[in-house]
Structure 1
Amino acid sequence: MIIAVDGPSGSGKSSTARGVADRLGLRFLDTGATYRAVTWSAIEHGLDLDDTAAVAQRARELRLELSTDPLNQFVIADGSDITAAIREPRISEQVSKIATNLDVRKELIRRQREIIDDAQPSGGIVVEGRDIATVVATDAELKVLLTADQEARLARRGAELAVGSVTAEQLRDQIVRRDADDSTVAEFQVASDGAVTIDSTDLSLEEVIDVISRLAKEASTE
């Protein structure tokens, strides 16, 4: 089974998808981590992130390993453990430049599909991102668009970050500006054909996991 979870920043995609994967005994893929890894690598190599060709070449050359264990997540790039580094504000501020690079997207979508294919013998995978149902895994048995109102998303993202690590302006930039930028290359504001929309504004994490797990079980018996 493939479960696709799409949605805007701060909607709870990662926590929800990990929880569903753990609940159902599936693998888990955070596609956003692949874009963050390329961002980290491009910055480490001193590249101009507006040089789309150079950044795309870096994406193709990058040796990248991602854990698909929902309870033990790690990201290794060119031999370095960057699990924590890719969550730093400096990466969050720049990742949209990478995510809107069409050649980078082509390379990372190829890699994401390989990971999804590799997970099938183990029972399946929960994949979260912005274009999973529409591009990466259009054959997913369950497609979910996870949404929440803007203030709820800001509050959730703020709670995930260390106190004082970002200003209110930086936090809003991470949510509002990134969504605006990324929406130029991925459709994650409106449900794709066959997708179920879940508004998590007034739901707890466990409640959202319960809903998606139930839908997944129903989809698996159809």
Structure 2
Amino acid sequence: MTEKIVIAIDGPSGSGKSSVSKAVARHFGLEYLDTGAMYRALTWHVVRSGASLEDPAAIIAAAEDFPLQQGTNPDAESILVGGTDVAEEIRSPEISSAVSAVAAVPRVREILIQLQRDFIAGASAGIVAEGRDITTVVAPDADARLLLTASEEVRMARRGLQLGGTQNAEQLKAQVAERDAKDSRVNNFTEAADGVVTIDSTDLDYEATVAATIAAVQKQLNR
């Protein structure tokens, strides 16, 4: 790539955003930003600090003093909070069940949205940023904007495989359907906004989904 480009990818839980976004980043030689991991890392920070998830002021205080170090290499996930590697812990059921409460605080969203924009601005060649409101709020002027989705049944199955079978059906439902329901009160990540291309991977395997996403991105870049 000779010019810096920004690719924004949104979608519900278990839609394959992370794995597909990483593949897209590799294909175009770009950095990669997992904004969902950022919210999870902040939730870990809030829980570890002992703040109540029912105390918005305490959550905001934790967000304003959030010592995050997050890498943008699509081949090497790196998420540290105050020097502690939290990459595995932020995927636990405890954090998954708490993240919506943290993300629902308006001031917290303002803080993290600005942080995400700083990451995007600092990417020299460009970046693939994925999450729930990247196409509409964080980077509405991105060079390519996509919504990646799939049926709830398929998304739950994929999340189960991603977690290595460590979660039971009830935990998977909480991580996928229930979390989506909570987060949808804050932003709409199930329907594409104007100008956003939808990729439905319900009947596609990983390779086909990546190919369809890359083709959609390339088409938008060539406009």
TM-score normalised according to structure 2 size: 0.95
Give distance in 2, aligned partners of 1:57 and 1:142.
Answer: 34
Give distance in 1, aligned partners of 2:163 and 2:219.
Answer: 35
Q: Which residue of 2 aligns with 1:155?
A: 157
Letter in 2 for 1:189: T
Deviation of residue 72 (structure 1)?
A: 0.6
1:37 and 2:25 matched: no
User: CA offsets, 1:116-154, max 9 Å, x none?
Assistant: 0001x22x1111100001100000111111110010001
Letter in 2 for 1:152: V
Q: Which runs of 5+ in 1 are unaligned?
A: none
Among 74, 79, 84, which residue is 1:80 paired with? 84
Deviation of residue 215 (structure 1)?
A: 2.3
Give distance in 2, aligned partners of 1:39 and 1:64.
Answer: 12
User: CA offsets, 1:42-97, max 9 Å, x none?
Assistant: 11111101101111110110111111100011101111111111111111111111
Letter in 2 for 1:143: R
State the identity as a percent. Answer: 47
Q: Which residue of 1 aligns with 2:70?
A: 66
Deviation of residue 28 (structure 1)?
A: 0.5
Give distance in 1, aligned partners of 2:209 and 2:121.
Answer: 26
Aligned residues between the structures: 219
Q: Which residue of 2 aligns with 1:202?
A: 203
Counterpart mapping for 1:65-214 below 5 A = 65-119=69-123, 121-122=124-125, 124-163=126-165, 165-214=166-215
User: CA offsets, 1:1-24, max 9 Å, x none?
Assistant: 111111111111111101110111
Give distance in 1, aligned partners of 2:18 and 2:38.
Answer: 13
Letter in 1 for 2:127: I
Does the Cα contact within 8 Å between 2:9 and 2:17 map onto a contact in 1?
yes
Give distance in 2, aligned partners of 1:180 and 1:220.
Answer: 32
Give distance in 2, aligned partners of 1:142 and 1:83.
Answer: 28
Q: Which residue of 1 aligns with 2:56?
A: 52
Deviation of residue 180 (structure 1)?
A: 0.6
SS at 1:154's partner residue? helix
Give distance in 2, aligned partners of 1:191 and 1:217.
Answer: 18
SS at 2:198's partner residue? strand
SS at 2:121's partner residue? helix
Does the Cα contact within 8 Å between 2:150 and 2:200 map onto a contact in 1?
yes
SS at 1:218's partner residue? helix
Q: Which residue of 2 aligns with 1:22?
A: 26
Give distance in 2, aligned partners of 1:56 and 1:158.
Answer: 32
Give distance in 2, aligned partners of 1:142 and 1:220.
Answer: 6
Does the Cα contact within 8 Å between 2:145 and 2:217 map onto a contact in 1?
no
Letter in 1 for 2:161: A
Give distance in 2, aligned partners of 1:98 and 1:149.
Answer: 26
Give distance in 1, aligned partners of 2:215 and 2:128.
Answer: 14
State the Cα RMSD in Å. 1.0
SS at 2:75's partner residue? coil
Give distance in 1, aligned partners of 2:204 and 2:19.
Answer: 13
Letter in 2 for 1:220: L
